[in-house]
Structure 1
Amino acid sequence: MADRSVLERRPLNPYLILAIAIVLPGAGHVFSGMPGRGLVFVFFMLLFGWITFHLTTPDQSLVGRYAGGLFVYAISIMDAYKWARLRWELSRKHNPA
């Protein structure tokens, strides 16, 4: 069989996943092979951003108005990197070449 399954392929470099996750929220998870997890993070980022936007006053800063969404965004970046790093290390351990 010429095409190997997703689990047998060498995963992308965790630093590349980190860069993708910083630029496009949720895309780091998609490139790591977890699209459902990425979509959940994007959904909650938009939801909490919307909630905090409507719960704050107009004189709050932009960061304060979208604090909920930015918080989930920061967590999604760390989560995408963590899972990419775990898959990278497991791949190195099982395929030392």
Structure 2
Amino acid sequence: MVKPDTARPVHPYIVLLAAVLLPGAGQLINRMPTRALIMLFFMLSLGFVTLQLAAPGRSFIGRHAGGVFVYAIAVMDAYLIARYRWEMFRSRLAV
């Protein structure tokens, strides 16, 4: 039985969509604002470092590869945490 104070978590696909559209939004929906700020900080800082070190003829993605990498990690992180919470909530319903 579900406890009355247990709130239903946000569906993982909604978190995934928010994380893809806006960096850090998935972590905010998961109620992890500190993690969102950390991800944004590293996206910006690694994107800047890669921009400074990349060769002049590289594409936009190549020039900002560090930031894009952290962005991809942030999207996966937000989705996996949301999926974990969703499955834990569903397993409590089944008991």
CA RMSD of aligned residues (A): 1.6
Residue in structure 2 matched with residue 33 of structure 1 by the alignment: 31
- TM-superposed CA distance for 1:61, in Å, is 1.1
Q: Which residues in structure 2 correspond to 1:15-94 (within 5 Å)?
A: 15-94=13-92
Higher relative contact order (CA 8 A, sep 6+): 2
Q: Distance in 1 between matches of 2:48 and 2:22?
A: 18
Q: Which residue is equivalent to 2:8?
A: 10
TM-score, normalised relative to structure 2: 0.90
Deviations 1:57-79 (A, max 9, x none): 22111111000000000011001
Moved over 3 A (4+): none
Q: How much identity, in percent, do the aligned residues show?
A: 48
Gaps of 5+ in 2: none
Number of residue pairs the alignment of both structures matches: 92
Provide the C-alpha distance between the structure 1 equivalents of 2:37 and 2:92, rounded to a whole number of angstroms. Answer: 29
Secondary structure at the aligned position of 1:95 is classed as helix
Which letter does structure 2 place at the counterpart of 1:54? Q
- CA shift, 1:11, in A, is 0.5
